Amino acid sequence: MNIGIDRIDFYTPNQYVDLVDLAKRRDVDPDKFTIGIGQEKMGLPLISQDAVTMAAMAADKILDEATKKDIELLIIGTESGVDESKAASLFVRDLIGLPKTVRAFEIKEACYGATAGIQMAYNFVAQNPEKSALVISSDIARYGLNTPGEVTQGAGAVAMLIKAEPKILALQNDSVFMSENVGDFWRPTFSKYAFARGKFSNEVYIRFFDELYDAYFEKNNTTIDDLSAILFHIPYSKMGKKALQSVENKVDEAKYHELMQRYESSILLSKSIGNLYTGSLYLGLISYLENAEDLKTDDQIMLFSYGSGSMGEIFTGKLQPGYKENLNQEQHLKELAERRKLSVDEYETEFKKEIEIVDGDWFIGNLTNEKYYLEQIKENERIYKSL
Ligand code: CAA
């Protein structure tokens, strides 16, 4: 029985910051951001949008009433949780109307959370082949104004339906993984923003990839020639490229060229949206499937998942017949083109906005006219609404 991704889609907020504008304001050569970092735009949520509303917006795009009935597992991977106790999944289950008979919880391990969710979902479907699992990654990447990480911010969610005989990608149950206690990137409970040892985090990321790359082929007794592409967690598009460059001396020239060319297809969405933290790898998968040319059924794609702190995993999936009919490229291009460009002043104002609770209450209403939104905080409790 094949198990894997049957449906996949993403949501990103309807406003963005142009990184050339940001570079000019920060007195930086724009080429540093667009070439050196490899990013063009970053999505920015409004104060009424958070990990819950973005997850619900993404899930809505892949679900219909018939699909909802079979879902028995809902996992949200996020490092932008809205509550130290209650899982985002409980709000989301309610908003999108999943049955009560759903096991719903949240997973945190930096940008690795959704991958942990997918692996749990895989095991769940293996034991319950008639049922399916909904895994959603949802995050707001925030480093703060005027920080080195500022240009690598972003926001959004990716929703994936995991089931038997999937229409898009059959996972191969061939993972290799590793974990270490590393201080490369973290966000303590007392801070709204992440802290990063930027250069060190790049080194750890590449080291994890290198070790897992070798371990993968050793464990599975295969070679790079069995794979058609390597997709990466993309905190910014230059990062995955740096990791891919590290295999140059391990593969022949033609294969290296092919992998590099395919990598370029996988970063198009991220360049225009920014870092989704745990969703970035899967946004890269959508970008790859929508933009790469000459893809074929049974192409085997390697995915490198990395969560700072640190946890890494490499696994693969095989492309399923008719995968293309289950993607939505035209809609994505339209949504991205219709986003509102914020000036740097508007971005900074929005960025500094705080939820100001007075006697346990705060009211904002629907700022976005989107289907799901945080309407208010009442008696210290978040109240979400749907149009
Ligand atoms: N034209 C073209 N390129 C230029 C340039 C110019 N005018 N000026 C500089 N560059 C290039 C530099 O040569 C450099 O390229 P290489 O990396 O290939 O050498 C690149 O632009 C970046 O320049 P700096 O290294 O000087 O950049 P920086 O010190 O401002 O910081 C950063 C870069 C460390 C990535 C920083 O943005 C950061 O801290 N980001 C957050 C941490 C991060 O994303 N880490 C990734 C691994 S951790 C992870 O993956 C988890 C996660 O999601 C966070």
Q: Give the residue, by CA position, lying nearest to ligand 1 atom 21.
A: 36
Q: Is 29 in the pocket of ligand 1 (CB under 6 A)?
A: yes
Q: Write down the pLDDT at residue 209.
A: 98
| Catalytic residue chosen out of the listed positions 106, 233, 370, 375 | 233
Ligand 1 atom with the smallest distance to the CA of 30 is 7
DSSP letters, 117-182, are: HHHHHHHHHHH-TT-EEEEEEEEEE---TTSTTGGG-EEEEEEEEEEES-SSEEE-S--EEEE---
Q: Is 196 in the pocket of ligand 1 (CB under 6 A)?
A: yes
Q: Is 185 in the pocket of ligand 1 (CB under 6 A)?
A: yes
- The structure tokens listed for 198 are 């930027």
Q: Give the residue, by CA position, lying nearest to ligand 1 atom 30.
A: 148
Among all chains, which residue has been given the structure tokens 């996988």? 266
Ligand 1 atom with the smallest distance to the CA of 199 is 34
Q: Is 198 in the pocket of ligand 1 (CB under 6 A)?
A: yes
Q: Write down the pLDDT at residue 367.
A: 87
Ligand 1 atom with the smallest distance to the CA of 233 is 50
Burial of 151 (0-12, 13-18, 19+ CB in 10 A): buried
Q: Write down the pLDDT at residue 59.
A: 98
Ligand 1 atom with the smallest distance to the CA of 205 is 47
Between CA 52 and CA 156, with CA 338 as vertex, the angle to 5 degrees is 25
Q: Write down the pLDDT at residue 316.
A: 98
Following CA atoms 180, 185, 186, 187 in sequence, which dihedral angle do they give, to the nearest 10 degrees? -170
Regarding pTM above 0.75, the answer is yes
List, for residues 172-230, the tens digit of each pLDDT value. 999 999 999 999 999 999 998 899 999 999 999 999 999 999 999 999 999 999 999 99
Q: Give the residue, by CA position, lying nearest to ligand 1 atom 22.
A: 36
Share of the chain above pLDDT 90, in %: 97
Task: Give me the phi and psi of 172, to 5 degrees please.
Answer: -100, 5
| Catalytic residue chosen out of the listed positions 111, 150, 313, 332 | 111
Average pLDDT of every residue of the chain? 97
List, for residues 143-179, the tens digit of each pLDDT value. 999 999 999 999 999 999 999 999 999 999 999 999 9
Q: Give the residue, by CA position, lying nearest to ligand 1 atom 28.
A: 148
Nearest to 151 by CA among 275, 52, 65, 246: 275
Is 233 among the catalytic positions? yes
Following CA atoms 36, 257, 42, 109 in sequence, which dihedral angle do they give, to the nearest 10 degrees? -100
Q: Is 111 in the pocket of ligand 1 (CB under 6 A)?
A: yes
Determine which helix (DSSP H) or strand (DSSP E) holds 16, and give its type and residue range: strand 15-18
Is 111 among the catalytic positions? yes
List, for residues 252-275, the tens digit of each pLDDT value. 999 999 999 999 999 999 999 999
Amino acid type, 250: K
Compute the distance between CA of residue 239 and CA of residue 204 in angstroms, rounded to an integer. Answer: 11
Compute the distance between CA of residue 138 and CA of residue 11 in angstroms, rounded to an integer. Answer: 9
Mutate to test the pocket of ligand 1, among 42, 152, 209 (most ligand atoms within 8 A of CB): 152
List, for residues 61-107, the tens digit of each pLDDT value. 999 999 999 999 999 999 999 999 999 999 999 999 999 999 999 99
Q: How far is CA 201 from CA 271, 278, 311, in A?
A: 20, 16, 12
Written in H, E and C, the secondary structure of 245-284 is HCCHHHCCHHHHHHHHHHHHHHCHHHHHHECCHHHHHHHH
pLDDT tier at 140 (50, 70, 90 boundaries)? very high
Between CA 256 and CA 265, with CA 261 as vertex, the angle to 5 degrees is 140
CA of 237 to the centre of ligand 1 (A): 10
Amino acid type, 363: F
CA of 176 to the centre of ligand 1 (A): 28
Q: Is 152 in the pocket of ligand 1 (CB under 6 A)?
A: yes
Terminal-residue alpha carbon distance, the chain: 39
List, for residues 16-67, the tens digit of each pLDDT value. 999 999 999 999 999 999 999 999 999 999 999 999 999 999 999 999 999 9
List, for residues 342-381, the tens digit of each pLDDT value. 999 999 999 999 999 999 999 998 888 899 999 999 999 9
Is 79 among the catalytic positions? yes
Mutate to test the pocket of ligand 1, among 137, 145, 202, 276 (most ligand atoms within 8 A of CB): 202
pLDDT > 90? residue 322: no
Q: Write down the pLDDT at residue 366.
A: 87
CA of 197 to the centre of ligand 1 (A): 11
Ligand 1 atom with the smallest distance to the CA of 28 is 7
Burial of 6 (0-12, 13-18, 19+ CB in 10 A): buried
Whether the Cβ atoms of residue 149 and residue 304 lie closer than 8 Å to each other: no
Mutate to test the pocket of ligand 1, among 20, 32, 306 (most ligand atoms within 8 A of CB): 32
* Per-residue b or e along 117-127, where b marks 16 or more CB atoms closer than 10 Å to that residue's CB: bbbbbbebbee
Nearest to 280 by CA among 196, 155, 175, 106: 155
